[in-house]
């Protein structure tokens, strides 16, 4: 049974995540030749304050971009 973990920044539309679940399930099922019912997907939505890029949180980066405009 394949288990896939997807980490995303929070804030996406529920319909987009639902679509991603369908498409990832399809891709895993086809590439690994397993039934779709055996595919498990765990979606972890991470707050931008907990997502680091080069030692700085995504939230801080976004604030800096707004302030520079």
Does residue 2 carry a catalytic annotation? yes
Can you say whether the dihedral through the CA atoms of 16, 8, 44, 29 is positive or negative?
Answer: positive
Among the options 1, 2, 16, 31, which is catalytic?
A: 2
Q: Own/partner pairs for 12-21, CB < 8 Å, 24+ apart?
A: 12/45, 17/43
Q: Which two tokens stand for residue 20?
A: 């991603």
Q: Which residues are catalytic?
A: 2
């Amino acid at each position: 049974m394949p288990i896939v973990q997807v980490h995303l920044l929070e804030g996406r539309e529920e319909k987009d995540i639902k679509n991603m679940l369908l498409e990832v399930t399809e891709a895993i099922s086809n590439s690994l030749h397993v039934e779709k019912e055996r595919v498990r997907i765990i979606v972890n939505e991470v707050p931008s304050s907990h997502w680091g890029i080069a030692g700085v949180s995504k939230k801080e980066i976004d604030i800096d971009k707004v302030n520079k405009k």
